[in-house]
Amino acid sequence: MKKTRIATIAALLTVATAAAAQEPIQRPTRLPALGRSVAGTDDSTALVQNPANLAFLPGVEMRYSGIYLDESNQVPWQGNAIGLAFPFPVIPLAAGIRLDFVDPPNDMQGKLLPFNYQWLTWGLAVRTSDVTGFGLSVQRTYSDQPYVDGLSSFTLGYTVRPFDQLGLSLVAHDINAPTSALGITLDRSYDIALAVRPFGTRALELGLESKYVDRPHDTYWIPRAVLGIDVGPLGRLRGDFAMSHVGDDTEGQKRMAWTASAALALQFSGATGSAELAGGSVTGNGLGEDNSYGVQTDVAFRSWREPTGVEAPRYALRIRIEDTPSARGHVALLRRLWGIAEEPAVDAVVLELRTAPAGSMAHIQELRDAVHHLRQNGKRVLCSLEDNGGSALYLCSAANRIVMNPAGGLRFAGLKTQHMYFASLLGKLGIRADFVRIGAHKSAPERLTRTSATDVARADSIDLLQQHERQFVEGVGTGRNIGYADLRKRIASGPFIASEAKTAGLIDGYAFDDELNDQVSQLVGRDTILIDDNRATRAPERFGKEKHVALVYVDGDMIDGRSETIPLLGEKLAGSYTLAETLKQVREDPNVGSIVLRIESPGGSAMAADVIWREVQLTAKVKPVVVSMGAIAASGGYYVASPATHVFANPLTITGSIGIFYGKADVAGLLKKIGVNVETYKTAPKADAESIFRPFTAEERKELQVKVGQFYDVFLSRVAQGRKLTKAQVDKVGQGRVWTGEQAQARSLVDELGGLRQALDYAKKAAGMPRYAPIEELPPPNTTIIGKLLGIEGVHASTPLPPSVREIALALAPFMIYPGDKAMARCELTPVIK
């Protein structure tokens, strides 16, 4: 036994001594990533080739790899590997871990004893920008043989992808040149790699690479070429060719050998992820003999979908709406529906409406457009109702079929608006609202100064309500195939229980939630499965940051300063500084081809509107700026839209309201009631003119009227300049008058009727960008860490108020957030109740 141990140790020492002069191909190594580019591959095999590429990982991947060689082959990289890689949520980091089980061929012709060993690799990468990534990996060997045990090394990688057509990587392998217990050293090596995509997409990728091996007494290069081709409905074809140094001949000259690989990766994409099954071969005299070959295989499961490959069997998607979306939530829903229209495997969409699907008729019109877009792309749309109102009916009338819970109902018998007036309440409290305005139609201050509407304001409200009713009845009538007069009569007989709604022709049938799968199968005409819309994202087809559209939100009342959110109410305030900086940013960003200004604002501070207006004007001189008006873009909201390149409005967008008012609340009476006395000392008679502790004097009101007139003249000038009209033409449709989008287009205040989809399409065409150009939403929403982790925008720790209290608070809030010394360009929006 003692002699056997001595012999084994002697053999190990002999091998160790010989190995010091051997080539890297004969040393401990991990399984290579055959057919994959050092600069272009974005999956878990980056742990072996280039840890920087983990930064571009689209999602989670688990992968098995295997390489099986002939037992006479002279390379050690036979075996199996299991890897897992994933990006972190919220932060731009990705990590991975991989375990290689290396089982070299038995016959190494004495060059290396056939020791089995394992490599454990851990990698971490950071994405420092949309086009750059840095990565580090740490790897260590484990074996019961000291020859290959305990080798710990570090690898650093860097990747930059500045253009769609080009990626560049630099990788330093084994930079610490580790040594095993028997003195075996892994030489440092360095990769420089290019990934070239001639057509700008991953459909065809060429890799041109070279590895520099830094040996103590002998350095050399190993060139390599890589090819990747997307193969239509199958997946991806991968291959590579490399030259390597395998020793010296009898004359001392370097002896070169080659290896080549080819594999077909079949890719299968479902709604929630994808799988890959790959198989191929590796051959070349670099394996040991001229006719040597081996087999390679890969199996991977991913949380993302591939752009090519076999799609899952056709299915239907369920979208359930339980909370009325916010302005940004509404856009997210629209983009979700547009994306489904492009899905080849989707047969149908089921909209389960358990609340109002939108907060305004204009938003419903955009949702109706999305439903029409689905149907134009061959998707069937089924609406499922429970206990809903007119907004759900308006949306669902665009669908193929409407079903209702048998115990449900349609709480709808017509449209209405309600206006609250607080003058009497304020009077009892000792508060007096004191306002000066331009235009009889500028009715915003009337809530605080009157107990009822003026005749002009009442006529405006009735006209607006009639405009809503006409478009509502026309839309529902067209979808349900009911004449205008007949439908008005049927609606007037509401509200409806389910059976009455069916008799009135407003729905098609009844269904519980568990029956929706059968309902959608009947609609499609064959058996299909109904699943929740949890679709995985698709892997990007292009490198880096593409030229894109910036979607800039003007959401909420306009204020001077930074954007904020009103506590408890959750209402947005659009800050002039925030928006000015955002517009300057997108104007100067070369990756932004055009801008869509999404306006969801009744206006507010005239100064804030003018600051934003100036940035819109400057931006429109450099890039196309397309306005998309949402529910409301009135007064200051219209002010900032006027210099845009092109203006879209929904037919029922509330816009116009070109006018100014100015005022304050005098609380002197309130203070007197509660026993508070205010003494004021001043150096001039009007030093406290804007104080809330006294009313305006007659002279001050006269001066205010002049000041408001000056602001109004600026408003007219801004609109006239942007819309290429005269000030007289603008004044004719101004005076504070509110218009629907349809009316505004007829008066040259907007260019075209359409929603966000049409505005985005126009912006892309105007900038010469393709239809699939990405969209970046700005400014970033004010989201907590918890909100980001849950994927919820605008999560705030606020206590919801009862609806009636919230309605009153919302009516009074604008006059609490604006100081009394600010000219106001604001429209008071009273929603049409469905």
- Give the per-residue pLDDT at 20: 39
Task: Give CA–CA dist 637/614, Å, rounded.
Answer: 13
More reliable by pLDDT, 120 or 163: 120
What is the three-class DSSP state of 259? strand
Q: Given the DSSP bridges, would you call strands 254-269 and 310-311 parallel, antiparallel or unpaired?
A: parallel
- Quick one: tokens of 433? 């609202």
Work out the mean pLDDT of the chain and round it to a whole number. Answer: 88
Point out the least confidently predicted range of 188-197, 259-268, 582-591, 781-790: 781-790
Please say if the pLDDT value at position 760 is more than 90. Answer: yes
- Quick one: tokens of 321? 């709406």
How do residues 204-248 score in pLDDT, each as one tens digit? 999 999 999 888 777 888 899 999 999 988 999 999 999 877 666
Nearest to 573 by CA among 823, 794, 265: 794
Instruction: Work out whether the CA dihedral 366, 368, 372, 374 comes out positive or negative.
Output: positive
Predicted model pTM? 0.87
Please give the domain boundaries of the chain with CATH numbers for all domains.
Answer: 2-310 (2.40.160.60), 315-532 (3.90.226.10), 548-666+696-781+814-826 (3.90.226.10)
Point out the least confidently predicted range of 311-320, 427-436, 725-734: 427-436
Q: Given the DSSP bridges, would you call strands 592-601 and 625-634 parallel, antiparallel or unpaired?
A: parallel
CB distance 603 to 558 below 8 Å: yes
| 242: phi then psi, degrees, rounded to nearest 5 | -140, 145
- Quick one: tokens of 662? 């100015």
- Give the per-residue pLDDT at 516: 97
Between helix 606-620 and helix 698-723 the angle, nearest 10°, is 20
Please say if the pLDDT value at position 820 is more than 60. Answer: no
Question: How is the beta sheet containing 557-559 ordered, strand by strand?
Answer: 432-437, 661-666, 824-826, 603-605, 557-559, 572-575, 564-565
More reliable by pLDDT, 619 or 130: 619
Please say if the pLDDT value at position 287 is more than 50. Answer: yes
- For range 104-130, the mean pLDDT: 80
- Give the per-residue pLDDT at 792: 46
Task: Give CA–CA dist 471/551, Å, rounded.
Answer: 28
Element housing 336 (H / E): helix 327-341
Residue ranges of alpha helices (H) inside 112-202 are none
Task: Give CA–CA dist 384/99, Å, rounded.
Answer: 50
- For range 568-590, the mean pLDDT: 90
How do residues 301-321 score in pLDDT, each as one tens digit? 999 999 888 888 899 999 999
- For range 721-742, the mean pLDDT: 94
- For range 378-398, the mean pLDDT: 96
Using pLDDT thresholds of 50, 70 and 90, give the confidence band for residue 254: low
**Residue that is written with structure tokens 């508060």 in the block:** 431
- Give the per-residue pLDDT at 660: 86
How do residues 166-183 score in pLDDT, each as one tens digit? 999 999 999 998 887 777
Please say if the pLDDT value at position 761 is more than 90. Answer: yes
- Give the per-residue pLDDT at 1: 44
| 580: phi then psi, degrees, rounded to nearest 5 | -60, -45
Please say if the pLDDT value at position 11 is more than 80. Answer: no
- Give the per-residue pLDDT at 793: 47
